Amino acid sequence: MLNRQELQDAFLSHFGQPAALTVHAPGRVNLIGEHTDYNGGFVFPAAINFGTWIAACKRSDNQVVAVAMDINGNENSFNLDDIQFDHNQSWANYVRGVVKMLQQAYPDINGMSLMITGNVPQGAGLSSSASFEIALLRAFSDAYGLSLTGVEAALLGQKAENDFVGCSCGIMDQLVSALGGEDQAMLLDCEALTYRHTTLPDDLAIVIINSNVKRGLVDSEYNIRREQCEEAAGVLQVTSLRHATLEQLEQHKPELKNTVYQRAHHVITENARTLAMFDALEAGDIAKVSQVMAESHVSMRDDFEITVPQIDFLVEQIAQVVGDKGGVRMTGGGFGGCVVALIPKKLVEKVSDTVNNFYHSHTGLTAAIYVCSAERGAFA
């Protein structure tokens, strides 16, 4: 990972002129609130100190020229008058998609030279794509003096990913990358797009443990879960499970397939847990945080059925060390990926030792451990 000066030096070397600006957008981790976003519910992410950096300069022509430093300095260029999907360089479609959506909102933008680097671990579910999109939007906004707000940027990034890149995603990733708070987590209402921040305790670290289980089933299973949630909402006669209660769910249980009932049970209870965790952190009640994070993991394992044995093992091992002084659960879409834990800083080394000593011997895999802080979003 390059520092800012190295990035600017690389820009100068490649483009023959200095960068006019350098921007950064963070990745994110979701502390609680899994598979609630596309059900119009609540999520509780934090922007983290891994992200995307872009050095940029306006061009006088209609060309966008982007260089991906982390992919062997691959260069991709296109004309603003003809933005097409690139089947050869998949990373470039994020640039193309973002610029296309931005152009629809701000037709007067012109070309840009972009030098891009980042350090969000790939495939770990920490949202490298949203970080990339928001950094691009910040670069264009700064270069062209656009009146782009954080919410507008998030919606444009989501639209680029959904409609151009072709990946279905909720709004959480882009919004927290744009508007996350330093040392804070964000309670986001995915239906209303309103949010509140709460400060994370000074003595707790955000620790992300990548199981390195490849998330092979996540796309197809994600779509199945989404359909099951929509089926449940239809039977319960609500627009989304956000508006369903446990009482309604129990009342309609005879009409629901067992798996559909379980999926709805997870979403309804997960929304309640997400609100409870926000309140617990506001009150400094870490034992409650520990409880709701543990309950969230059990619900993902048993009701939503998206964990894997390696992830369950990590959660069990970390919970034994942390007890009620912090919390731990799987984070992300499931079927592999990462565990997130809020851990007292004095126990981080012990947790790391526990993972390093037992995970490989139990699973044959080596976990990657990232100690993170909560950072400010690109538009905050």
> The domain that contains 195 carries what CATH number?
3.30.230.10
- Which of 199, 234, 262 is where one domain is finished? 199
189 with 211, same domain: the answer is no
> Tell me, what's the pLDDT at 314?
98
Catalytic, 285? Answer no
In a domain, 151, yes or no: yes
Whether residues 322 and 358 fall in one domain: yes
Asked if residue 141 lies in contact with residue 148, where contact means CB atoms within 8 angstroms, the answer is yes
The distance from CA 324 to its chain's CA centroid, rounded to whole angstroms, is: 26
Question: Does residue 247 share a domain with residue 128?
Answer: no
> Looking at the structure, do residues 146 and 269 belong to the same domain, yes or no?
no
What amino acid occupies position 71?
I
Q: Is residue 302 part of a domain?
A: yes
**The pLDDT value given to residue 1:** 59
Within a domain: residue 28? Answer: yes
Vertex 156 angle, CA 200 and 35, to 5°: 50
- Token duo for residue 65: 């020229």
Sign of torsion over alpha carbons 377, 369, 3, 93: negative
**Per-residue pLDDT, 125:** 67
H/E stretch holding 75 reads strand 74-79
Could you say which residues of the chain have pLDDT below 50? none
pLDDT computed for residue 74 by the predictor: 94
Is residue 233 assigned to a domain? yes
Within-domain flag for 378: no
Would you say the C-alpha torsion 150, 155, 159, 162 has a positive or negative sign? Answer: positive
Instruction: Please tell me whether residues 257 and 158 are part of one structural domain.
Output: no
pLDDT for the residue 259: 98
Q: Are 174 and 130 in contact (CB under 8 A)?
A: yes
In a domain, 122, yes or no: yes
Q: Let me know whether 195 and 320 are in one domain.
A: no
Label residue 142 exposed, middle or buried (CB < 10 Å: 0-12, 13-18, 19+).
Answer: middle
**pLDDT value for 184:** 98
Same domain as 90, residue 117? yes
The helix or strand, by DSSP H or E, that contains position 114, with its residue range, turns out to be strand 112-118
Domain boundary among 144, 166, 199: 199
If one counts every other C-beta atom within 10 angstroms of the C-beta of residue 9, the result is 16
On whether both 128 and 224 belong to a single domain, the answer is no
* 379 in a structural domain: no
- pTM given for the model: 0.92
Q: Which pLDDT belongs to residue 123?
A: 64
Q: Are residues 177 and 245 in the same domain?
A: no
Q: How far is CA 246 from the centre of its chain?
A: 28
Catalytically annotated residue among 37, 70, 82, 173:
173
Q: 312, 301 in Cβ contact below 8 A?
A: yes
Instruction: Convert the pLDDT of each residue in 268-287 to its tens digit.
Output: 999 999 999 999 999 999 99
- Per-residue pLDDT, 168: 76
Write the CATH number for 217.
3.30.70.890
166: its two tokens = 């072709």
Confirm whether 164 is domain-assigned: yes
Q: Which residues pair with 25 in a beta bridge?
A: 52
**Domain shared by 119 and 168, yes or no:** yes
> What domain range is 334 assigned to?
204-372
Position 47 scores a pLDDT of: 97
Q: DSSP assignment, residue 201?
A: P
Domain boundary among 139, 170, 199: 199
Q: Are residues 130 and 236 in the same domain?
A: no
Q: Are 126 and 266 within one domain?
A: no
How many structural domains are present in the chain? Answer: 2
pLDDT of 297 reads: 98
3-state secondary structure of 42: strand
- In the chain, the amino acid numbered 341 is A
